[in-house]
Every structure is written in C-alpha cells, then in structure tokens.
Amino acid sequence: MRETEEKLVCMGHLSDEKTIEDLKISLNFGEEIYLLSNIFKALSDPTRLKIIYVLSKSSLCVCDIANILEMSQSAISHQLRILRDLKLVKFKKEGKLVIYSLDDEHVLGLFEQGLDHVKHK
C-alpha cells in the first residue's frame, strides 16, 4: 500500500486469489457472529465485568452483589438480565432467594483472557 495525502491506495494483492476466496467463504458465520458481537458489547460495561468477576469467586444473590458493588438491587438486576439473556450468567432458586453464578467456564475464560491482554506489556 502507498499512502497519499487523501487515502491509502492498494498497489496490488499480497495474497493469492484462492486464499482470498477461502477467507471470504470462511466469513459465513451466520447468526453466531452477531451473538458474539452482542457478548462483546455486554462485556464492554464495567459494571457487568465486575459482576462477572464477583460471580467467578462465589455464587451470589442480587442483594449481595448490590452490596459488594455498592449499587441498588434494581440496577444490579437490570445488568444481570442482560448477562442472563446472553447466557453469561445463570440462576437457580433456593426458596425465595435467587442465586446467580457464571453460566460456564467459557465466561471466566473470556474475562481472564481479556484481563491478561490489558495487563500484557
């Protein structure tokens, strides 16, 4: 590529046509790419990341999460709903209590890998 005053100009293809076509075909993720995009959008919120962190340490009820994060139960419930809809957290009822936990080990992996990435120098 050559840089001009207005824009970058491609001076020719580095890759062969088969590689280009194979890559185009491999982009056919269907609905999965949009679901992944929504997961990353949900993880872009610091409050939701804090919720994921505390739930990685212990299963908790809404009132405990609210107490730990010093937020209202209503605000925490709203964030949990978003995480639950994306299958990042799950819940179980124990009597009148609703206990939240991470949905599976992939959620913690996403969090830990993201944290490792920002700490990497």
The mean pLDDT value for 25-30 works out to 85
- The pLDDT tens digits for 63-93 are 999 999 999 999 999 999 999 999 999 999 9
The pair of three-digit structure tokens given for residue 3, joined into one six-digit string: 């840089």
Per-residue pLDDT, 26: 86
CATH number of 17-119: 1.10.10.10
pTM summary value: 0.81
Q: Are 85 and 119 in contact (CB under 8 A)?
A: no
- pLDDT, greater one: 9 or 72: 72
- HSE-CB of 14 using CA atoms within 13 angstroms: 2
pLDDT tier at 2 (50, 70, 90 boundaries)? Answer: low
Residue listed under structure tokens 């505390």: 54
Helix/strand/coil (H, E, C) string of the chain? CEECCCCEECCCCCCCHHHHHHHHHHCCCCCHHHHHHHHHHHCCCHHHHHHHHHHHHCCEEHHHHHHHHCCCHHHHHHHHHHHHHCCCEEEEEECCEEEEEECCHHHHHHHHHHHHHHHCC
Q: What angle do CA 55, 59, 64 make, to 5 degrees?
A: 85
Structure tokens, 79: 């964030």
How confident is the model at residue 25, as a pLDDT? 87
